[in-house]
Structure 1
Amino acid sequence: MTPRTARTALIGRSGELDRLVRVLDAAEGGLAGVALVGGDAGIGKTRLVTEVRDLAEDRGFTVLVGQCAELGDSLPYLPLVDALRGAAEPGTAADGALSAWPALRRLLPGADPGAAGAAAGALAQQQLFGSVLGFLSELAEGRPVLFVFEDLHWADRSTRDLLVFLTRMLQRERVAVVGTYRTDDLHRKHPLRPVLAELQRLPLVTATELPPLANDDLAEYLATIDTTPRSVLGNVIGGVVERAGGNPFFAEELLAAAAMCDGMPGTLSDLLLSRVEALPDQARHVLRVAAVAGHNVDHDMLRDATDLGEIPLEGALREIVSRGLLTTNRSGYAFRHALLQEAVYDDLLPGERTRLHGTFARLLAARGASAAELAHHYQAGHDLPGALRASVEAGRLATEVGAPAEAHRHFDRALEIWEHVADAERLTGTNAVRVALSSAASAAAAGDYRRAVARLRRLRPSLDDPLLISETDERIAYYLTDSDLGAGMVEAARAAVDVLPPGEPTPLLARALATYARAMFATSGTAVRDLATRALEAARAAGARDAEVSALISLAIVEEATGTVEQVEELLDRATATRSGDLSIDLRAAFHQARVRYEHGELDAAARTADASIELAARTGLTWSTYGTDLRFLQFLIHYASGDWDTAERVAAGFGVRVGMPAEAHLSSFALFIEVGRGSDAADDRLSWLRPFWKADERDGQADYLVIYMARGLAAEQALWRGDPETALAHVTAVVDALDPFDPGLIRICATGLWALAEGAAPHDARERADDLIERARWSAVNGPYGPRLELGPEGAAWLLRAEAEWHRAKGTAEPEMWRRAAHAFGFGFVYEEARSRWRLAESLLDAGDREAARTEWSRAVETADRLGAAPLRRALETLGLRARFGAARRPTPAGGASGQGAGGQGAGGGLDALTSREREVLEHVAAGLPNREIGKLLYISQKTVSVHVSNILAKLGVASRTQAAAIAHRQGAAPGE
């Protein structure tokens, strides 16, 4: 939090202020928001945001302010550190909340970024981002929060990534984020441009660009400047307004210049420098030295850099401050505007600039300044040994605080000057190979795998040490595998193993073997098993616990395809019991253990593992890491399957609807289970946001297969509940085409497609389609990626039985026993699917003439549907009950806020308004006395689809026969000719 000085009234910005105030209002009401304020330098962005800060403080907000600086590329997270430094005042609520987040504490001056519990690289960044989100959420529980990022055009890559993360992750927190940036600085390739383009598409974001002030507003603004003599103002204000082009800062400077001399300089730079030139020599020297320090400068630092005593320095500073060129703050001085600092700095002679940077480097080094800041001054001061040493250290520290992009930049700068520095290894305590490996690791951690691999491939020909060759090849293979770039990963992994000399197992050998096993996953299970087994043996012998856990996970995944459940669980139990020392690997092991338990029907054990792991992820700031996210959707699935839909819905509330990235789309897709199951209209909005992710990407021609499987599979179910089997079958076909033939998820999708065919989807080759789908399901059930499956889990087995029953239903040969077996198979704990099977079992029993048994199964399914709030299933059961004349079952208000829209609209007894347009068309023909076959011909739909529509119509109108429905149509004017 930064202090503010007195200022003039805000003029000419009421519309822009209103937009920002609405963001505050929303945050106060529990809806997070982001505002991006752009405009030319000097146009008034800071003035507007200062007004917003004041309003927020008056309304009880906690206000955090972070300032980016022109050194942004060198200093990671500078605005975050700035904001946290202001928040860490003892006794404040922010300081109390900050104490719970070690990853944030490590950013503050004097902290050790490599302290115990700290992650590194990509994981450190995930940990930091999760900690920022947790910190803001915790703060917002007490008071709403305003977080301001100033001057984003100077932000480092990691800060930009943090802004994107917060914009996407903040949902219902009472947090408002405001960022400012200069539009005139955003050249075509400026790194902020794509970030702004991405963020401004999101509904959470309010974009505001400040235009020039109108002439009347600018004149009124100038008239409020108390220091301006009225005589001068009256004489020159017209000319100032005309020259200023609506820019308040330019206008102020023009007015000040007009007060000092005749005429006005031609450009803004000339104008600013004319005010500097009017200073006494000593004051002008002090201002030039201050410009080299940057926007802000410490008093003691300025004294030492100018080599003036206290009395002369104070006299010079008093002159500078009195003329409004510098302002005072808690630690020293700041330029009144960044444009002034830039103009003074650019006016320095090259030799003068080099000398002053060298002076600041020497003074900062003596004060223990950050390595990143030292690297900047050493580089600008042409001190290559100092720049090399500081760049290597800055890269190391950036890695530790979770700023991999900046770490890569520092390491690469070190490599650029390495050959030009004598005795570089002694200076840095490392060698060029290690720096290159660190550079590649940082690039990979920042998501730039191509750059990481390119860096290592440039390094590879210069190596002759087998150990370094192995390490380099292993990293190439690892990055290629992680990035799905593919080509060359197996060859690099093999080379990493083959080049190592025989002898005692080492951690390097263990990691090389583990990576080789990962690279071979696309080939044969036998090869992966052999390599992972060798990796496991080497890891144990060498004490490499990270490689040991990775090998155990690889072995478990292979056993899933070819072994037994007991073998898989035993391997994963060992993996989770062996702490690897790497949080990412430990969470990966926990995720697979919980997943396997869930897929094999051990829901209670799966829930315990997932809950404990999610708690670990939250405690370490990794809730939004890759496996932290995976564990959250697994937790959702466990609650969904076990029938605790209200809890599942609460978990899904944090998944977000308006998604823009694949990871968000994956998470959002899972919420469809509840929304489709409860017949919520929210599913339509979610599907509209997910649709772009199931289409082929223009860049690589590939769509996201997981979103296709989840979202389109559930879109198919939604279409079926709404009586549209043709659309459902189209979705199923797309999913089948996208999945590998051995993917066990194919069984569920095939069952859904067979449901569509049984409901009357009428492609010309319906019988062949049904046979094709059941054969695909059967093949997937017994074949894995490496050959025959030894065992299929209980959920997969249950879905296969469902698919078999639907296949027989589509062919008209279904028997009650088939549905009884499916219902029993889902009885391991999958409450909803057991109820859906009992619905079909009741229907089959009724067709077989066993009315009492049908009523028993029907009642059990109704009870479950009511408890879950499964509105579409409940309506389908109601339709069956009307047909069977079971009598009306008690119909409670749907749980979980289900809208009642879905399979049948608004429920039984809803009148004609409850019918869809298609159902009204069908009713007109029913009222005309046409049979289903004739109605189908007239409407170009199948006879079975007509039957489904008629059943829905009877349920919605609350009648038991076509005659009663026709009577209502005639009474309410919906019959033909009325």
Structure 2
Amino acid sequence: MRTRTVSPVFVGRVAPRAALAEALGLAAGGAPQAVLVGGEAGVGKTRLVEEFLLTAAAGGALTAVGACVEVGADGLPFAPVSGLLRVLHRELGQELTAAAAGFEGELSRLLPELGAPDARERSARDEEMRGRLFELTARLLERLAQERTLVLVIEDLHWSDRSTRELLGYVLRVVRDCRLLMVTTYRSDDIHRRHPLRPFLAELDRLRTVVRIELPRLTRDEVCAQLTGILGQTPSDERLAQVYRRSDGNAFFVEELASITGDGGQGTLSESVRDLLLLRVEALPETAQRVVRVVAQGGSRVEFGLLRAVVGLSEEEQFEALRAAVEAGVLRVGEDDTYRFRHALTREAVDDDLLPGERSRLSRRYAEALQAAPELVPADQRATRLASYWYHAHEPSRALPAVLDAAGEARCRHAYAEQLQLLERAAALWDDVPAEERRRLRVGAQTESYPICACPDELLGFLDLLAEMTLAARLAGEQERGVSVARRALRLLEGERHPLRAAWFWTQLSRLLRQLGRGDGWPELARAEEQLEGFPDSPVHALVLTEAAGWRVIFAPGPGSLATAERAVRLARTVGGPDALLNALISRGGLLVDVGEAERGLAEMREVADRVVREERVAVFTRSHVNLQSQLEGIGRSEAALAVADEALALAHRYGVADTRAWILGNRADSLFSLGRWAEVESACAEASRIAQTPVSRGLIAQRRARLAVARGQFAEAARQLALQRGHEEQEGAAAQTAHPAVEHRVVLAAAEGRVLDARALFAEVVRINRPTGTGCYTWPLVWQAARAESESVGVPAAEPGRAAAVALVRRYADSLARHYPVWIGYGLLVEAELRRAEGRSTAADWAAVVDAFAALSRPYEEGWSRTRWAEALLAEGERERAAAALAEAHGLAVGLGAAPLVAEGARLAARGRLPLGESAAPAGPGGPALTPRERDVLALVAAGRSNRRIAEELFISPKTVSVHVSNILAKLEVASRGEAAALAHRLGLVGASQRAS
């Protein structure tokens, strides 16, 4: 006899239930949470979530469930997110439509009920629009979770497509101040070492709002309770022992074993799990078994109408068969009249029991039924499912066009990883399809100026497919794969007369190699330009020249590059589109600024930015405002740069381009740092880190944080941030705007730790590479820090050999840099003054000029250092009153900024020169022997290897007085020599890092 198999009593799970309840409470309080529920197949994840949803709904929460869909071996792009949004749309109706107002065209890619994408969105750049889709989805959920607690569940994450994982990860990182709880389930026993879900889970584990739960198997007592609920009575000890032994505590297996009568009335149960799972199916009537086998081949769930078309039964016969399967606990009725297996393990067992020929035949029947009546499945699933059915039917001629259609739809939804998988499948099918049928297909890149023929020949048709694969790989972040595909295309083009296609592939290869950090991409761009020589202008010409102009802005600014930008503008006006023209104008504007024509260049860039806003050209916005903001900051107009940043942030929020917003915030942090608003720098970096989507943008945030940490003297934090940045920016071919700041911070760290030779080596490597400087704001600070490392290491024995050569190298490099703008002139004065200090010949007049330059620019950090050096020079020249005034002002700037190394430098100078700093002068030293402040100063210089005479010069006292201080120090430290005193001072922390570097 059969018994009910689902226990009416929910057994155990005390700790997981408590964790879910806690997460719900936090979410209800306005702190978004996520819970990841893992466990082996059949352990009870779904039951746990179902019980939790009942509790949440009873407490007033709105709940929705979506599931990752397995279509053959392919995940359906964004399927669980679309499912969730459909449920919310049914529940909320107009409220959801209102929450999506203004973005319906983009969100319709996930929820077609909102309408169709508008023309502006279709014309925008793919890489930005994908980020926009993610941002707008997160914003929609935030809006819906303001007035109520929203509990969203995504089941079967082990089947998820990459696009879904990336969208989910973004939402979990950025949503805040709303009442949202996300719960996901996944099979942990399916997550092998190379499963794509593994790194995703590791990434989520780092988020403080994410909790991971691993469901264990049931204990013997819990199995007993489960059996009692199923059987309606306590099982005998013998039956409990048998079920527990065979199920090993797996809740689903317990249910299956409970359905067998104690005397084995349905036959002897095999020890094989597969046989156990099939036992219930084999007990069904033959017609029901037939229906179950068809459902198993249809995917995770199958619609009633599609199932009927494939099975070929009358409606009454099908209802009867389905009713038997549902009552037996094999199938479940889902939403929208769909049917699925009650447990995926059973489906896998049934599918595994089919013969290969049966699978192909059933897949063919599914494909034929769906092709004849597409309305049988949701519109957003048709192309992908049809492609999967034809592919598994092993009919290449039918599969290839279906796969290409599915790839096109995946791109339309910004599911580039899935698009690439489908295109790779198309490439594998290509040779199995007759040539005449292939020629009828229209494939290939539909954007980016790729030249497509109306009637391509054999080679061109396949090249068009490779072009689409190249784009998909780049957009999916699969740069290595993109490089491989592009090179394959270029090999096919060798000896062929298709220069436009060759130029296009060389241009794409240049981009991909730059993104991988394998060179700067110029050799490939040069090859692209070579291909076009002697041919009439075309959109490919505009693409290559515009790309070359953008490259030169970053890697090779100068008059020669300006000529390239001029050509790009002319070409874009005649054969390029509006976006190509605007991008070329942005490049030309930036290059004009770099050669000293700031007013003309900035006016041109401002005009482009205004047109971008007026015409809502989102694709160009990702460059227009970012570059304008950067150029303003680069020439010292920090307040104007902040104004552009504020405008751009509002637009980025409106357009929903989160990664661009992260870039804008990073540039804003640069201006805030220059103006001395360092607390706001922290906030800008934190916000940028929360929304950044790409490794490059995250690396730039780490770079900004490293700069702030260096200036504050938080050297361990600076090293940590530089380690985060390394690998993103410090790669072969990195541009000056990323490489030079990274080296700058490492030079400061090396000097602060007394590693002057390392600091020299770092700078010498920059000179050796001879990377073009780009906008001076990226290079001048590096040169200053290299000069400062030399001037502050005077008297350090290890640094003395080679100092003259090091100073000459820094001076020679500084002389090669442009000084078109006041801030660049100020840095030039600062560098020369530091170098003269290193040579022992700087004067108060030198430093007074530097102070005037930076005071006029409202750059308090550079001004603070300059005033400190000025005070030192005045003191050496005997002008104590003026020195005291300069030092007091510098000290005020340093304290206001929180620049600890600058504060310490001023305090040391005040102590050496007996200059007053008030109560905020040198802070109390670390614990240790009771040394006077003057003795600590002397000890610091002893530890740095200074002689008595050198100490006397630096402290403005006599050598005899130094000798007395040294004797007192040795006595107090109870050591016999200066070397022992230095070692003990370091060990006890009596000498800080900044003192050791002086």
Same fold (TM over 0.5): yes
Deviations 1:564-597 (A, max 9, x none): 4345435534554565986344322322221111
Letter in 2 for 1:68: C
- The aligned counterpart of 1:345 is 351
1:806 & 1:140 partners in 2: Cα distance?
57
Equivalent residues in 2 for 1:401-420, closer than 5 Å: 401-419=413-431, 420=433
Give the Cα–Cα distance (whole angstroms) in 2 for the partners of residues 40 and 944 of structure 1.
Answer: 75
Structure 2: give runs of 5+ residues left out of the alignment: 444-453, 957-963, 974-983, 989-998
Q: 1:691 to 1:480 in 2, by over 3 A?
A: closer
State whether structure 2 residue 545 is matched by structure 1 residue 542: no
Counterpart in the other structure of 2:698: 664
Q: 1:184 to 1:499 in 2, by over 3 A?
A: same
Q: How many angstroms apart in 2 are the aligned matches of 1:949 and 1:718?
A: 24
Partner SS state of residue 216, structure 1:
helix
Structure 1 residues 840, 761: closer, same or farther in 2, change over 3 A? Answer: closer
* Cα distance in 2 for residues equivalent to 1:292 and 1:623: 40
Q: Which residue does 1:901 correspond to in 2?
A: none
Question: 1:836-855, aligned counterparts within 5 Å?
Answer: 836-855=865-884
Aligned with residue 270 of structure 2, among 261, 265, 284: 265
Deviations 1:99-127 (A, max 9, x none): 45443332213543565324453223222
Identify the residue that residue 423 of structure 1 maps to in structure 2: 437
Query: Could you say which residue in structure 2 is the equivalent of 1:514?
Result: 546
Tell me, in whole angstroms, the C-alpha distance in 2 between the residues paired with 1:126 and 1:384: 35
Q: Give the aligned partner of residue 845 of structure 2.
A: 817
Give the alignment partner of residue 155 of structure 1, picking from 152, 155, 160.
160
Q: Distance in 2 between matches of 1:124 and 1:391?
A: 23
Q: 1 CA distance for matches of 2:667 and 2:950?
A: 36
CA distance, structure 2, for counterparts of residue 55 and residue 856 of structure 1: 70
Structure 2 residue 465 is matched with structure 1 residue 435: yes
**How far is 1:59 from its partner?**
6.4
Please list, as runs of the form range in 1=range in 2, the aligned pairs for 1:185-224 lying within 5 A after superposition.
185-200=190-205, 206-224=211-229
* CA distance in structure 2 between the partners assigned to 1:828 and 1:536 by the alignment: 34
Alpha-carbon spacing, 1:719–1:147, altered in 2? closer, same or farther (3 Å): farther
Aligned to 1:117: 121
> Pairwise CA RMSD of aligned residues?
4.5
Distance 2:559 2:890 in 1: 45
Equivalent residue, structure 2, for 1:831: 860
- Is the CA contact 2:132–2:655 (under 8 Å) kept in the aligned structure 1? yes
What amino acid is the match of 1:242?
A: R
Partner of 1:327: helix, strand, or coil? strand
Aligned-partner Cα distance in 1 for 2:763–2:142: 38
Q: Using the alignment, how far apart are the partners of 1:885 and 1:596 within structure 2? A: 44
Question: CA–CA distance in 2 between the matches of 1:730 and 1:258?
Answer: 79
User: 1:257, 1:275 within 8 Å by CA — same for their partners in 2?
Assistant: no
Identity %: 30
> What residue number does 2:780 align with?
747
Superposition pairs for residues 858-897 of structure 1, below 5 Å?
A: 858-861=887-890, 863-865=892-894, 868=897, 873=902
For residue 904 of structure 1, what is the aligned residue in structure 2? none
Equivalent runs, 1:372-521 vs 2, <5 Å: 372-419=384-431, 420-421=433-434, 422-426=436-440, 428=442, 432=461, 433-460=463-490, 461=492, 464-486=497-519, 490=523, 493-495=526-528, 498-499=531-532, 502-503=535-536, 505-516=537-548
**Partner-residue secondary structure (3-state), 1:66:** strand
Is the alpha carbon distance of 1:945 and 1:630 closer, same or farther for their aligned partners in structure 2, counting shifts above 3 Å? farther
Q: CA deviation at 1:375?
A: 0.9
DSSP-derived class of the 1:257 partner: coil
1:598 paired with 2:598, answer no
Q: Distance in 2 between matches of 1:411 and 1:933?
A: 72
Residue in 2 aligned with 1:797?
A: 825
Q: CA deviation at 1:542?
A: 2.0
1:241-295 deviation line (CA, Å, top 9, x unaligned): 1011221111211111346624323222211211111112232222222223322
Say if 1:39 and 1:209, in contact at 8 Å, map to a contact too. Answer: yes
CA gap of 1:749–1:728, structure 2 versus 1, over 3 A, is: farther
Give the AA of the match of 1:112.
A
Once the two structures are superposed, residues 387-434 of structure 1 have per-residue CA deviations (whole angstroms, 9 ceiling, x without a partner) of 222222221221122111111222232333344155344355776243
| Pairing of 1:603-682 with structure 2 (within 5 A) | 603-624=638-659, 627-656=660-689, 661=695, 663-675=697-709, 677=711
Map of 2:247 onto structure 1 = 244
- The secondary structure found in structure 1 opposite 2:154 is strand
Task: Output the CA distance in 2 between the equivalents of 1:885 and 1:65.
Answer: 73
Q: Are positions 1:287 and 2:301 aligned together?
A: no
What secondary structure, in the 3-state scheme, does the structure 2 residue paired with 1:38 have? strand
Is the 8 Å Cα contact of residues 597 and 605 (structure 1) preserved in structure 2? yes
Does residue 335 (structure 1) correspond to residue 341 (structure 2)? The answer is yes
- Say whether the 8 Å CA contact 2:596–2:820 is kept in structure 1: no
Structure 2 matches for 1:894-933, cutoff 5 A?
Answer: 915-916=925-926, 920=928, 923-924=930-931, 926=932
Q: How far has the Cα of 1:633 moved from its partner?
A: 0.5
Correspondence for 1:902 = none
Counterpart contact for 1:477–1:519, Cα < 8 Å: no
Q: Secondary structure at the match of 2:37?
A: strand
In 2, the alpha carbon distance for the partners of 1:564 and 1:358 equals 67
Measure the CA separation in 1 of the matches of 2:99 and 2:831: 52
Query: Which stretch shows the higher mean deviation, 475-484 or 608-617?
Result: 475-484
- What amino acid sits opposite 2:465 in the alignment? V
Q: Contact conserved, 1:70 with 1:154, CA < 8 A, in 2?
A: yes
Preserved CA contact (<8 Å) 1:57 1:63: yes
Instruction: Assess, with a 3 A threshold, how the Cα gap between structure 1 residues 126 and 208 changes in structure 2: closer, same or farther.
Output: same
Match of 1:298 in 2: 303
The 8 Å contact of residues 710 and 718 in structure 2, kept in 1 or not, is answered as no
8 Å CA contact 1:470–1:500 kept in 2: the answer is no
Q: Partner letter of residue 806 of structure 1?
A: E
Distance 1:66 1:686, change over 3 A: farther
Tell me, yes or no, if the aligned pair for 2:582 and 2:608 is still in contact at 8 Å: yes
Between 424-433 and 517-526, the greater mean CA deviation after superposition: 517-526
Change (3 A) 1:44 1:92: farther
Residue 446 of structure 1, CA deviation: 1.3
Is the aligned partner of 1:361 residue 2:389? no
Contact 2:756 / 2:790 at 8 angstroms: preserved in 1? no
Tell me the matched-pair count. 917
After the TM superposition, which of the residue ranges 164-173 and 69-78 deviates more from structure 2?
Answer: 164-173
**SS of alignment partner, residue 329 of structure 2:** coil
Q: 1:658 to 1:14 in 2, by over 3 A?
A: farther
Instruction: Tell me the alpha carbon deviations over residues 107-161 of structure 1, each in whole angstroms, 9 at most, x when there is no partner.
Output: 2135435653244532232222333343444455555665543222211122233
Q: How does 1:313-324 map to 2 (within 5 A)?
A: 313-324=318-329
Measured in 2, the distance between the counterparts of 1:383 and 1:555 equals 53
Q: What SS is found at the alignment partner of 1:184?
A: helix
Change (3 A) 1:803 1:12: farther
* C-alpha separation in 2, matches of 1:704 and 1:872: 29
CA offset at residue 54 of structure 1? 5.1
Is the 2:78–2:161 Cα contact (8 Å) retained in structure 1? yes
| TM-score using structure 2 length | 0.80
CA distance in 2, matches of 1:944, 1:426: 90
Rounded to whole Å, the distance in 1 between the matches of 2:617 and 2:526 is 22
Deviation for aligned residue 1:527: 5.6
Residue identity opposite 2:864 in structure 1: A
Check the 8 A contact 1:378/1:386 in 2, yes or no.
Answer: yes
Deviation (angstroms), 1:490? 3.0
Secondary structure of 1:37's partner?
strand
Check conservation: 1:444, 1:452, Cα contact below 8 A. yes
